[in-house]
Amino acid sequence: MHLQSMYQEIILDHYKNPHGRGLREPYDGESFQVNPTCGDEVTLRVKVEGEKVTDVSYDGQGCSISQAAASVLNDLVVDRTVDEAMTTMTAFVELMQGRGQVEPDEDVLEDAVAFAGVAKYPARVKCALLGWMAFKAALADAGVKPNGAEVQ
Amino acid sequence: MTTTAPVTQPLDVAALRADFPILARTVRDAKPLVYLDSGATSQRPRQVLDAERKFLETANAAVHRGAHQLAEEATDAYEEARAKIAAFVGVGVGEVVFTKNATEGVNLLAYALSNAATAGSEMERFTLRPGDEVVITEMEHHANLVPWQQLCQRTGATLRWLGVTEGSDPGRLDLANLDELVNERTKVVAFTHQSNVLGTVNPVTPVVARAREVGALTLLDACQSVPHGPVNFAKLGVDFAVFSGHKLLGPSGIGVLYGRRELLEAMPPFLTGGSMIELVKMEETTFAPPPQRFEAGVPMTSQAVGLGAAIDYLNAIGMDRVAAHEHALTEAAISGLQAIDGVRIVGPAEVVDRGGAVAFVVDGVHPHDVGQVLDSLGIAVRVGHHCAWPLHRRLGIPASVRASFYLYNDLSEVEVLVEGVREAQRFFGTA
């Protein structure tokens, strides 16, 4: 196995220099999620104005995959509409649950395509999805109804 | 009688490994498997697999019911396994109850105690009420923690716990306030024999002595001790003990609850139904004597036979020699890992009263990521909180990496582990 297939440079860069990390005010919804198998946790807040996600702030502890995924999430959903964010989330979940068989769409997923290698390791898929589960729950907490996407 | 080589004679690990087919396989691009996760589950020798298969091919039947020849032979095989297991841990054959796993054993006791609350006054000694206390420790596996939390919630009793030491000899059970925590209100003291994270072997004698003084029942979680050295429950003086088959070279789906005969005879059952009865009428039922009283339904049979074969296998080697072998591996692992800058051992560094579970953290590299690098080198370790989340929280770490050894590991594998940890540091740029 080549470690680089999982730990692509993009992932390590996000891990070492996370985007948008730290909890900020004001916010409309918040969620705390844990991965019960390893104890990793994330607290994530969303700020929504009209149709738009205007901020995602987060804090927590976790492995490089979970931390990098939260950083990429921040890039992919801030200043996008809720619907666009949901479309991205659906694509990301599909990629992560695809056991490495799903060809990612770089136009939609941008840096998140780097997680294609992680999808081959079922034990790490939860790490990559932890922040996204928190995002979905935080939107619900903010009273925003997501349509379509299912994060398991 | 089995003939056992003297303790001083080292194990012939190469010969032993030939008994474990899985150890010959490769993983992750043809890397030899380095299996250092026996604390989670052990691998099984051919002798265990053969015993299960032979039983199923020649004698399989539902035990303790039916009068045909297969039923007789199956029942004999099941009860012979019980006898071997009882002798292995120094207790009477009627004191060994088969369960699905050790977790079920703890739950069996916890639910029997709550069932006592709705039984007659003869169950008074087993009854918990508000004001009563259950004492556990901060180093428990969730299996010996959550059932007691739940029992306390059901009965209104209070859960208390012994702490873990810090300072010069960290990771030991803190007995400084034993007499205060275990007091006349205490009904149950449940504690682990050997921590599955710290490797600490706890002093059973003072805890049992104090529990006896105040009339509390004791339960020992022996999952991590019975597989790795000689253990005699009768000599330890505990009232109850649990361990699992799959950590003991045996099958999954079988565990053992030991209970002192007099207690099992007095205790109400947990699960009810077939097999565990004496007389059933539409209005009421009387129960069979133990151990059958606690084995409702058709039990796991080939698993019991397999566990019996695992015990034969270990007896032929000698548990003293197994313990001595693992002691050497543990010493080598701790000194090798401690020699790496940025690696900290979680638990006692001194290999005294310490078993072969070696947990550690690597500064700047999350345990999951350490585990992934090790996995890429063919090394199987456990990462996470190892079902001891409160202990990790107490130690101020989210998770750890744990290497755990058994009789089939050798010093070259310890070296591969230590080199693998260095590789993780290089990969994540912390070395």
At B6, the pLDDT band (50, 70, 90 cuts) reads low
Residue B32 has pLDDT above 50, yes or no: yes
Instruction: Read off the pLDDT of residues B284-301 as tens digits, 9 standing for 90 and up.
Output: 999 999 999 999 999 999
Which of A11, A38, A61 to mutate to test binding with chain B, by most B CBs within 10 Å of its CB?
A38
Average pLDDT over residues B222-241: 98
pLDDT number for residue A148: 45
Which of B37, B146, B346, B372 to mutate to test binding with chain A, by most A CBs within 10 Å of its CB?
B372
pLDDT number for residue B7: 64
Cβ-contact B109, B162 below 8 angstroms: no
Residue B274 has pLDDT above 50, yes or no: yes
Average pLDDT over residues B230-240: 98
pLDDT number for residue A151: 45
Q: Do A38 and B385 touch (CB under 8 A)?
A: yes
Mean model confidence pLDDT for chain B: 96
Average pLDDT over residues B162-186: 96
pLDDT number for residue B4: 60
pLDDT number for residue A152: 44
For residue B350 the two structure tokens come to 């001194």
Residue B182 has pLDDT above 80, yes or no: yes
> Quick one: B340 exposed, middle or buried, by C-beta within 10 A (0-12, 13-18, 19+)?
middle
Residue B277 has pLDDT above 60, yes or no: yes
- Asked if A62 has any chain B CB less than 8 Å from its own CB, the reply is yes
Task: Report the relative pairing of strands A40-49 and A52-61 from DSSP bridges.
Answer: antiparallel
Distances in Å between the alpha carbon of B330 and those of B36, B336, B341? 12, 10, 19
Token pair 């070259």: residue: B412
Instruction: Read off the pLDDT of residues B126-141 as tens digits, 9 standing for 90 and up.
Output: 999 999 999 999 999 9
In the predicted model, residues of chain A with pLDDT beneath 50 are 148-152
Residue B97 has pLDDT above 90, yes or no: yes
Average pLDDT over residues B206-229: 98
- Asked if B392 has any chain A CB less than 8 Å from its own CB, the reply is yes
Residue B410 has pLDDT above 50, yes or no: yes
Q: Do A41 and B398 touch (CB under 8 A)?
A: yes
Spatial separation of the C-alpha atoms in residues B215 and B132, rounded to whole Å = 12
Q: Do B427 and A3 touch (CB under 8 A)?
A: yes
Nearest neighbour of B399 by CB, restricted to A3, A12, A39: A39
pLDDT number for residue B431: 81
| B41-74 burial code (b ≥16 CB/10 A, e <16) | ebbbbebbbebbeebeeebbbbbbeeeeeebebb
- The residues in A 71-90 lying below 8 A from B, measured between CB atoms, are none
Instruction: Read off the pLDDT of residues B315-336 as tens digits, 9 standing for 90 and up.
Output: 999 999 999 999 999 999 999 9
pLDDT number for residue A60: 92
Instruction: Read off the pLDDT of residues B38-85 as tens digits, 9 standing for 90 and up.
Output: 999 999 999 999 999 999 999 999 999 889 999 999 999 999 999 999
Instruction: Read off the pLDDT of residues B379-407 as tens digits, 9 standing for 90 and up.
Output: 999 999 999 999 999 999 999 999 999 99
pLDDT number for residue B120: 79
- Asked if B129 has any chain A CB less than 8 Å from its own CB, the reply is no
- Asked if B204 has any chain A CB less than 8 Å from its own CB, the reply is no
What ipTM, to 2 d.p.? 0.89
Tell me the three-class secondary structure of B249-310, residue by residue.
Answer: CCCCCCEEEEECHHHHHHCCCCCCCCCCEEEECCCCEEECCCCHHHCCCCCCCHHHHHHHHH
| A66-98 burial code (b ≥16 CB/10 A, e <16) | bbbbbbbbbbbbbebebebbbbbbbbbbebbbe
Average pLDDT over residues B190-205: 98
- Enumerate the residues of chain A whose CB falls inside 8 A of the CB of residue B389: 39
pLDDT number for residue B118: 84
Choosing from B51, B136, B387, B417, which is the catalytic residue? B387
- Asked if B367 has any chain A CB less than 8 Å from its own CB, the reply is yes
B152 classed as catalytic: no
